[in-house]
Structure 1
Amino acid sequence: MMKNKTTRILSVSLPLLGLLFMLSSFVNTETIEKPKNKKPNIIYILADDLGIGDLSIYNENSKIQTPHLDQMGKEGMVFTDAHTSSAVCTPTRYGILTGRYNWRTPLKEFVTWGNSPSLIQKDRLTVAQMLKDNGYTTASIGKWHLGLNWSMKNNSPEFDHFSNKSDRLNFKDIDYSQPLKFGPNDMGFDYSYMISASLNMPPFVYIENNKATMVPTGISAQTKKQSPYATWIRGDIAADFKHEEVLPNVVNKSISFIKENANKEKPFFMYIPLPSPHNPVLPIAPWKGQSEIGSPYADFVIMIDDLMGTIFETLKEQGIDDNTIVVFTSDNGFATTNDLKTLKKEKHSPSYIYSGYKGSYLEGGHRVPFLVKWPGTIKPNSISKATICTTDFMATCAEIINYDFKDNEAEDSFSMMPLLTNEGDYLREVTIHHDKYGVFAIRKGDWKLIVSPNSGIMASGATKKHKDVTAEEILYNLKKDVKERNNVADQFPEKVKELKDILSQQIRDGRSTPGKTQENDAIMGEWPQAEFAFKE
């Protein structure tokens, strides 16, 4: 294992990336007087397809060591039962920024594409807008993947959520020279720097403050020359876009923003959705080839950990570490397309002790690492076994700034402040899970019910066959059966009914928090789920 990689960034990486890694210039060692009674800065870092077993603080048998993130966990709180609102990325991102379950939107399954319209509607309050309205400077830096309303050439029709496959790869009508019609800067972010979707999805352009930094002039080549885990879809690409530079660029921009806004009168909120370790897996020097198990994916995770270390160090050097909340998590579980064969061979389990991977309603699809550090508020070496959901971030921020939600805001978000401060009661009793096809599962205490994956009872209202699943319902007791191998639905019919009734009610109510009933967003004019799915 390579030691002191953070200090070697300068000497090893400059020939490859030039000024990208001149991190020494980011550090200001001068003593700066901080504003008094300032609300905490908030940084939310979201990895892409990182399994819970990929962090060594969670996995005692991990073959990948993540010392910087492990140290973050030791300095704060480690959540052992944290869940994304979906087992794939777009839906989870929606839930983080809105505090609302993703399946209440028109996107009932899978993800958006690089040319999809915004999934967040213009009248929907985001955590960024809420914080901005309450005195925060806000930024989104990284992978967006929530849809964008592009400007179109020659009055061409805009894209919609129901495009067929060929439309998803249609970029000829996008006018990259014009600003977005609706993007992150219209959703409460003062500053944004992003890629539109996953790093394997075109168009391959950087978008800064709602406008492409360069108009694409070429077409990316789909290649497997580097690695079978470093491929992308053929599509528009700009001259300033290099796939292997995207992660360093995101970190570079994030550190610059921290430096520019540290110790100003206004606190800041940063949303940093990393583009990695999602495919294409592109570790660069000095991390390439450094893992003990000879896996590009393991190298990539080590690279992420080191770059997170530079962010953590910048907070300390700027003197704002003690007044900054940092959250680190992942948008779903490990993706099997990322070198699973090598990881299995080397006895590394990216899902740790859990079954399933990205996309699955099983635990490995949505149980994720979740670390929170807040010096002076969260006691070091804290561990929480509470079942939390990534939608809870918005209500947590609302409590920090004393904001009261309207009935049509953050309908599925419960504040985690009682867990972080060890004061009061955390009010989430039930968590609804969702797989890539739209299948529902519901969790309450030790019990988890997966609802008829082959019966059409899913958000899309369609039927998609799941291999090796014949049961009408699947009930697991996770305390006794954490690997989800023993279906006890027939033994506990009353528990099946209880959980089904709760799921049905929370779907119909348009919310899971107390408040007035809200409407779920329709799909193609209607949503069959709430009408027929759970009728006796």
Structure 2
Amino acid sequence: MKNLYLLIFLFGIGLLFPSCISKPKEEKKPNIIFILADDMGYGDLKAFNHKSKIRTPHLDQLAKEGMMFTDAHTTSAVCTPSRYALLTGRYNWRSSLKKGVLTGESMALIPKERTTVASLLKSKGYQTGFIGKWHLGLDWALKVDSINQIGSGESVNYDLVDFSKPVKNGPNALGFEYSYALPASLDMAPYVYVENEKVTQEPDRVTIDEGEYSWWRKGPTSPDFIHQEVTPNFFSRAIEYIENKSKEDKPFFLYLALPSPHTPILPNEAWQGKSGLLPYADFVLMIDDYIGRVNQALKTAGIEENTLVIFSSDNGCAPAAGFNKLVEMGHYPSAQFRGHKADIYEGGHRVPFIAKWPSKIKAGSLRNETISLIDFFATAAEIADYSISDHEGEDSYSLLSLFNSENPSNDFREATVFHSVDGSFAIRKGDWKLILAKGSGGWSFPRPGDPAEADLPEVQLYNLATDPGESKNLEAEEKEKVLDLKQTLIRYIKEGRSTPGIPQPNDPFEGEWKQVWFMNEE
């Protein structure tokens, strides 16, 4: 009875003085920064390739302070589809874009109804910012009423664009409270900055460059757009964003999408010739230096401990960077892997991936699991305590458990799917990789349609544990493995997802989807 009276007394005290009862302090959500390089190869970083002839001290330092993922991939070997998957957690080939990339004139690819990393984080109280290369289409305001004639991902004529009016369905419509965007690649017109849906200055001239590495396509250019200054401008604005947001109580998410070292290759004068290789290597040196400045900005602002920084690339190094010349000079942008940008081979989609989060990730740690940029969606959702619905992030697995280097991976994911520039598929399960194409599916030999493909098998099967260079096709000896991987891929396509959950529809697509020829061969 005395115990009952004591409980009643303590309860009454709690009602009168609620502050006397201590509540567990809620752990503050981390800031999140995702830095995405453009066309940087796996083998360009010393941390990932000790034979690299490019010095990358700041990226190597980032790796020492965080975790390296040695088997990280993009979903596609080219940029637009990889960026789609990164933001949506959904394979790019589920959209209407079945091959290739968009241009600066293309209409928006991601419908505003689809949840993105930015919109989910915003809904959980994050400040969200985008700075850099968008390349996912924008709905430009037109001078004539012809918008209904243009579909998702299709292009408009610059003569029809009214640059004085706001654009629609860009970063701001997809969850970014602040955006400062380059519409597409640095070699694709229009050459303008779009800040919060408005062009900062209307184009007043047409520019073109036809240098070997510095080239860009002819197109309208704004007075404030200087190609050589775009990368430094994005880094400067990113650092300013970090400094400003670090002073506020709410956590922030910054997606810094670099337009480099993609063409045009434009290292500042201070970096020209510093690598002793080609301008591409000089450009990588410059980017590395700016990464060091971002890392230092976090330390100076006092937010380093609880900030998750991820650095990766949207695909492998491009031939236009002087890939073959670099190899002749002893530098291998794809390290020991076959192929380069656009290819279904590893060099097309295996990329460097570093995650640094001092309060959660042990410095100098390493993971060898197969992961994908598509996993960023579920990772951000778990960090923010966001519950993913069946129609969101259909192919994304959270990396949060892997950030603890002591955790066993168990079955992190069943399989991972890749896509080449021409839409060819590959699927990876364990050490085995099945390519549903005769050749590269991209720009290296044998290219699609090359006569050399005529006598090759319809598919390629490689064991990456024993043959990381994809040199010995085992499809004839391992028919059961081919069938198993093919059936898994077919299931992923038909069910509209590769994660557990209710099957979802892929986006409507007009015309023949040539890349799924194998679905009729079960």
What's the offset of the Cα at 1:72? 0.4
Which of 188, 195, 199 does residue 212 from structure 1 map onto?
199
Q: Distance in 2 between matches of 1:220 and 1:80?
A: 40
1:386 partner SS: coil
Q: Distance in 2 between matches of 1:478 and 1:446?
A: 5
What is aligned with 1:60? 50
What is aligned with 1:408? 391
Q: Distance in 1 between matches of 2:451 and 2:425?
A: 16
Q: Distance in 2 between matches of 1:153 and 1:464?
A: 40
2:294 matches 1:297:
no
What's the offset of the Cα at 1:179? 0.6
Within 5 A, what are the aligned runs for 1:168-183? 170-183=157-170
What's the offset of the Cα at 1:418? 1.2
2:483 matches 1:497:
yes
2:39 matches 1:49:
yes
Which of 147, 151, 171 does residue 160 from structure 1 map onto?
151
Paired residues of 1:82 and 1:389 also in contact (CA < 8 A): yes
2:487 partner SS: helix
Q: Distance in 2 between matches of 1:134 and 1:467?
A: 54
2:107 matches 1:107:
no
Q: Distance in 2 between matches of 1:344 and 1:138?
A: 40
2:440 matches 1:440:
no
Within 5 A, what are the aligned runs for 1:68-467? 68-157=58-147, 159-161=150-152, 163=154, 170-224=157-211, 228-293=212-277, 295-421=278-404, 422-423=406-407, 425=409, 427-453=412-438, 464-465=448-449
CA gap 1:451/1:144 in 2 versus in 1, 3 angstroms: same
CA gap 1:439/1:476 in 2 versus in 1, 3 angstroms: same
2:489 partner SS: helix
2:335 partner SS: coil
1:221 partner SS: strand
Across the two proteins, how many residue pairs are aligned to each other? 489
Which of 477, 499, 503 does residue 513 from structure 1 map onto?
499
Q: Deviations over 1:32-73 (max 9, x none)?
A: xxx983210000000000000100111111110100000000
Paired residues of 2:108 and 2:153 also in contact (CA < 8 A): no
2:289 partner SS: helix
Q: Distance in 1 between matches of 2:329 and 2:319?
A: 15
Q: Distance in 1 between matches of 2:354 and 2:324?
A: 28
2:229 partner SS: helix
Q: Deviations over 1:268-311 (max 9, x none)?
A: 00001100000000001211121133x11111000000011111
Q: Which stretch shifts more, 519-528 or 315-324?
A: 519-528
Q: Deviations over 1:301-329 (max 9, x none)?
A: 00000011111000000000001000000
Which of the two has higher C-alpha Rg?
2
What is aligned with 1:484? 470
1:482 partner SS: coil
What's the offset of the Cα at 1:526? 6.8
Paired residues of 1:150 and 1:179 also in contact (CA < 8 A): yes
What's the offset of the Cα at 1:468? 3.2
1:347 partner SS: coil
CA gap 1:342/1:490 in 2 versus in 1, 3 angstroms: closer
CA gap 1:183/1:493 in 2 versus in 1, 3 angstroms: same
The alignment yields a C-alpha RMSD, in angstroms, of: 2.0
What's the offset of the Cα at 1:533? 2.7
Identity percentage of aligned residues: 49
Provide runs of 4+ in structure 1 moved above 4 Å: 453-456, 525-532
1:233 partner SS: strand
Which consecutive unaligned segments of at least 5 residues does structure 1 have?
A: 1-34
2:216 partner SS: coil
What's the offset of the Cα at 1:430? 0.3
Which consecutive unaligned segments of at least 5 residues does structure 2 have?
A: 1-24
Paired residues of 1:193 and 1:209 also in contact (CA < 8 A): yes
TM-score by length of 2: 0.90
Q: Deviations over 1:209-239 (max 9, x none)?
A: 1110011111112332xxx100011011111
2:353 partner SS: strand
CA gap 1:491/1:262 in 2 versus in 1, 3 angstroms: same
Q: Distance in 1 between matches of 2:408 and 2:199?
A: 46
Q: Distance in 1 between matches of 2:520 and 2:82?
A: 24
CA gap 1:526/1:121 in 2 versus in 1, 3 angstroms: farther
Letter in 1 for 2:222: A
What's the offset of the Cα at 1:455? 13
Paired residues of 2:423 and 2:515 also in contact (CA < 8 A): no
What's the offset of the Cα at 1:529? 5.8
1:321 partner SS: coil
Paired residues of 1:455 and 1:472 also in contact (CA < 8 A): no
Q: Deviations over 1:463-497 (max 9, x none)?
A: 95256332111100111111101001110100000
Q: Distance in 2 between matches of 1:467 and 1:36?
A: 63
What's the offset of the Cα at 1:126? 0.3
What is aligned with 1:14? none
What is aligned with 1:11? none
What's the offset of the Cα at 1:160? 3.1
CA gap 1:86/1:257 in 2 versus in 1, 3 angstroms: same
2:34 partner SS: strand
Paired residues of 2:424 and 2:515 also in contact (CA < 8 A): no
Letter in 2 for 1:478: L
What is aligned with 1:37? 27
